[in-house]
Amino acid sequence: MQPGRLELELEREFGGEAKVVVRQAVDLRDSGYYREDVGATLDVDVVVENLRDAPDECTNAVERWNWWVGALAIAYGDHYAQFTVRRPPDVGKDPYR
């Protein structure tokens, strides 16, 4: 997988926080789960093609990634849940309250 190319493709195609999706995609590839379960290499084209399949309600790369990882978890097991992009619980809160 070429992380730089993936980031450019995701930003161009879907917008949003592409860097965090790239990190998760690289971690997923490195885990070997996708290759073992699907029997294919996880590369830029595979990621982009699968994110294109996300429903229209998924408006950016993170939402599309989470949708796809959720589909993988349903199909192949909960070990895919660790690749979901999550925000820390305090993001967006006033630090002085």
* pLDDT digits 0-9 by tens, 65-79: 999 999 999 999 999
pLDDT the model gives residue 1? 81
Stretches where the chain sits below pLDDT 50 are none
pLDDT of 17 reads 81
List the chain domain ranges: 3-78
pTM of the model: 0.87
pLDDT value at position 32? 97
Task: Say what the pLDDT of residue 92 is.
Answer: 60
Distance CA 69, CA 81 (A): 7
- Least Cα distance to 72 among 57, 90, 54 occurs for 54
Residue 59 confidence (pLDDT): 92
